[in-house]
A and B are shown apart, each in its own frame.
Chain A
Amino acid sequence: MKPITNIMVVGIGGQGVMTAADIISQAAIMEGHDVKKTEVAGMAQRGGVVTSHVRFGEKVLSPSIPPGTADLMLAFEPAEALRWVTHVKDQATVMVNTYPQAPPVVSIGLFDYPEQPETQLQSHPIELISFDAGSLSIKLGDRRLVNSIMLGAIAKQLPFSPEVLKAALLTRFKDKGEKLLALNETAFKAGQQASQLTPRQAK
């Protein structure tokens, strides 16, 4: 059987991790793959860690991506990228939103936020692409756009055309009004540009 493509999407509750994983899944379906998607989300709406696993190929059995086998990781938060980098394989591409979000346990001083997570990520044998999608989303007018920005950024890394991913994204928003559709298209393009402008840090 042909190898399966494993994509991890990681972040925290409320960032749209599952929606992003859904859109990548839809794109893979449009490409004719068998797809499974799951999330490991302990009380996701309560700000906890969220990881979504997308697997596609000729036939997918287990929905879970074993550690060390993800081909690609999309991280919506830098500390979460650091937490889950164990799940990617050598030379995998890891796309990181550098906008940090510290939980209350860090705010009240029980734990420290990791120092320079991007630098720590660079010590791993991965191709790291990182940029501040969080600030970009706020500039575009809504922090929920991080999702579409990150999808735009990852589009070139998928084993199919960026246009397929874009089509899957726009299908998702087609019934939600012209304004929102246009906004997400803009965010997707902004993500594409941002990832092109970001130097790749390969090891």
Chain B
Amino acid sequence: MSAAEQVKNNPRMFISGNEAVALAARDAGCRVASAYPGTPSTEILEYISAYPNLYSEWSINEKVSLEVAIGASLAGSRALCAMKHVGMNVASDALMTQTLIGAVGGLVIVVADDVGLSSSQNEQDSRYWGRFAHLPVLEPSDSQETYDITRFAFGLSEQYAVPVIVRLTTRICHVKGLVQLSTPQIKEGQKFNKDASRFVMVPGNAKQRIPLMLERDKTLANFSESCSLNVIEQGDNRSVGFITSGAAYCHVREAFPDAPLIKLGLSHPAPIELIREFSQSIDKLVVIEEVEPLLETELRAAGIELFGKDIVPRIGELTPTVITPAIERLLGKEKSIATIGMTDVFPRPPTMCVACPHLGIYYCLSHVKNTIIAGDIGCYTLGAGHPWNALDTCISMGASLSVAQGIDKGRSEEDANKNVIAVIGDSTFLHMGMQGLLDITYNKGNITILLLDNRAVGMTGGQNAPSSGIDIHGETTIQVDFRKLCEALGVKSERIHELNPYELPTLFKALREEVKVKEPSVIITNQPCVLTERYAKQPPLTVEDDKCTGCSNCLDVGCPAILVTKRETVVKPNGKEKELSFVKIDTAACTGCNLCINTCAPDAIIPLINVDYINAMEVK
């Protein structure tokens, strides 16, 4: 097929970096793909799941996900697993051994760094894992490169029998650009060739593999010097030149269209000699990298003079707005950019959805006194915010249970009477929480556990998990029985309650009783995430104006559909001032979960009975 024919047969697509990874996997003949959802990487597996000839799964966690991909690679198939940066920490145990074994079928690990923390508990630079695990790191800078480089990664992995990291960042994953696809490959699986000395990493065998790994480092470093992904772009002006990679390349190129630069598509091992030669023709060499000064440190160690994080921020995304002033300062040409003055507008932090089943739980938690509450990773982390303020810790995925156990065991006399509570979602519990529960029961902790089973990975958009009873393809599968699971992990049957989180009195009663019991208890809530199809909307509610007393109890629920219409300050008979907030319900947003009805003393909240209007809202 001629190039022109190919272009005609494969029209350009306007796609995100994540979709480009998915298409690249498909077109590279990848046969197995796995992930646990995590922003900004989530969509990769969602797209892949649509391809019929490629096995895909939501794994329980990233370590399992990587191990599935490793197994497929060892069995001779091309395999991909995708994760966000914090997921790589979880997967790292498998990674550090797999690097000794190497790949058989192409093994590509796509890691998406949430630079700037749009929804993460920390900011990390996953390029470190390439150095740590002696693996090549590829860094695309836009959707087209993401497609091309991911395809390249499978070949590279097979050529050098090495797992390959494709490192993405927020501004790659979630940027749409035009992509020209190339002709798909078909890769059949190969026969599994038993080779215990290579695949069984007992100490004797592993020791033999370490020198081979170090030899591979050298080979890859040589390869990097001439790799077509490491590109020199000669510019006109030699006063400043750049070494850059990934999304930062686009920002640098935009800010300095005429500057000479090297774009590293294969950034580890870095092509040191190529860069050294380039640096000799440049007055001031600047390394622009997101986030950590990795290349900078390596190049400095190689004796190349340059600027880096001493002039460019180490935290957050690097955009032209950030890069330009830094370079202008370096060149002594600083100028201020005139923009329209800032306006001070209220913050709009993320909040729980209208009618979210977690609203009732946090309403209860915020009304139960004398507590220490360990939280976890998911939508329900938002319980730390207003109006609930009902979380005291949040560390890492699955940590609520083990952190609560530590708080229980390590508490001082002063906290002796406090109730220690752990809050965890269903998917998070399965991801890493089960082990914590076993620790609590085994070591006789006194924790009340709220297992918020909304049958989905809510935070990332309601993906399926073993709690859904549905897999990535929407097919029915096993559904975890949390009661039985908790029993198996050592919780007494009578200490396990399964409750409807919209029934506030029952929830309060169970919580108040269980915090008094000096042994592990689990309260499982059982209503689905409102983002999923399993959630059934009810007719919306409204407020009878003449009945609302302004008590503002309903506002404590934190439902975004409840709005204040007017505030008044009144003086009570005892002379104290009280602020009243009169409310209305945004009926177009309300789904009639009835939580606010439960909190309304004057019974001012009633269902909106207006059939025509409801029908109108049903237009799909």
Contact = CB atoms under 8 A, between A and B. Distances in A.
A169 B320 CA distance: 31
Top 6 A-B pairs, shortest CB-CB distance: A46-B350, A68-B339, A111-B346, A43-B350, A48-B350, A62-B254
Quick one: which of A47, A88, A125 has the most chain B CB within 10 A?
Answer: A47
Interface in B234-257: 247, 250-251, 253-255, 257
Given A105-B349, A109-B579, A120 B343 contact: yes
Contacts of A108: 386-387, 552, 555, 564, 581
Interface stretch (A32-40, A157-165, A192-200): A32-40
A43 B461 CA distance: 9
Interface stretch (B172-180, B467-475, B517-525): B172-180
A68 B338 contact: yes
B176 A25 contact: yes
Contacts of B251: 61-62, 64
B511 to A, nearest CB: 23
Contacts of B461: 45
A25 B257 CA distance: 24
A47 B530 CA distance: 14
B146 to A, nearest CB: 13
B350 A86 contact: no
B348 A12 contact: yes
A85 B352 CA distance: 27
A101 to B, nearest CB: 8
A104 B345 contact: no
Quick one: which of A39, A64, A90, A142 has the most chain B CB within 10 A?
Answer: A64
Contacts of A141: 616-617, 619
B348 A49 contact: yes
A142 B562 contact: no
A39 B174 CA distance: 7
B349 A48 contact: yes
Given A66-B337, A67-B321, A105-B386, 12 more contacts: A36-B177, A38-B174, A43-B350, A43-B459, A46-B350, A46-B379, A47-B353, A62-B255, A68-B337, A68-B338, A88-B340, A143-B589
Nearest to B615: A141
A38 B176 CA distance: 6
A109 to B, nearest CB: 7
B176 A114 contact: no
Contacts of A62: 250-251, 253-255, 319-320
A166 to B, nearest CB: 18
A198 B345 CA distance: 25
Quick one: which of B39, B257, B339 has the most chain A CB within 10 A?
Answer: B339
A35 B223 CA distance: 34
Contact of B340 (A47, A113, A125): A125
Interface string A83-112: 101101010000000000011111111111
Interface residues of A, number: 63
B8 interface: no
Contact of B560 (A22, A79, A85, A104): A104
A124 to B, nearest CB: 5
Contacts of B619: 141-142, 179-180, 183
B555 A79 contact: no
B222 interface: no
A79 B344 CA distance: 10
A64 B321 contact: yes
Contacts of B174: 38-39, 41
Nearest to B319: A64
Contacts of B177: 35-37, 60, 63
B351 A46 contact: yes
Interface in A139-194: 141-143, 177, 179-180, 183
Contacts of A66: 319-321, 337
Given A39-B174, A42-B118, A48 B620 contact: no
A79 B563 contact: no
A88 B338 CA distance: 11
Contact of A109 (B341, B531, B558, B567): B567
Contacts of B531: 45
A126 B581 CA distance: 36
Contacts of A130: none
B127 to A, nearest CB: 21
Quick one: which of B253, B254, B552, B581 has the most chain A CB within 10 A?
Answer: B254
A82 to B, nearest CB: 5
B560 A43 contact: no
Quick one: which of A66, A86, A90, A124 has the most chain B CB within 10 A?
Answer: A66
A82 B343 contact: yes
B416 interface: no
A202 interface: no
A4 to B, nearest CB: 9
Contact of A180 (B175, B178, B558, B620): B620
A61 to B, nearest CB: 4
A104 B341 CA distance: 27
17 contacts: A40-B118, A42-B350, A43-B39, A47-B560, A48-B350, A61-B250, A64-B319, A67-B339, A79-B346, A85-B343, A105-B347, A107-B555, A107-B562, A108-B555, A109-B579, A138-B588, A142-B617
A82 B346 CA distance: 10
Nearest to B249: A61
A5 interface: no
B14 interface: yes
A124 B346 contact: no
A67 B346 contact: no
B382 interface: yes
B381 to A, nearest CB: 10
A94 B221 CA distance: 52
Contacts of A109: 564, 567, 579, 581
Interface in B563-610: 563-564, 567, 579, 581, 583, 588-589
Nearest to A1: B257
Given A34-B178, A104-B558, A64 B320 contact: yes
A47 B94 CA distance: 37
A84 B94 CA distance: 45
B119 interface: yes
Quick one: which of B119, B343, B379 has the most chain A CB within 10 A?
Answer: B343
A161 to B, nearest CB: 20
A106 B251 CA distance: 36
Contacts of B382: 46
A108 to B, nearest CB: 5
A42 B347 CA distance: 12
A66 B325 CA distance: 12
B171 interface: yes
Contacts of B39: 43
A1 B564 CA distance: 51
A183 B617 CA distance: 13
B338 A26 contact: no
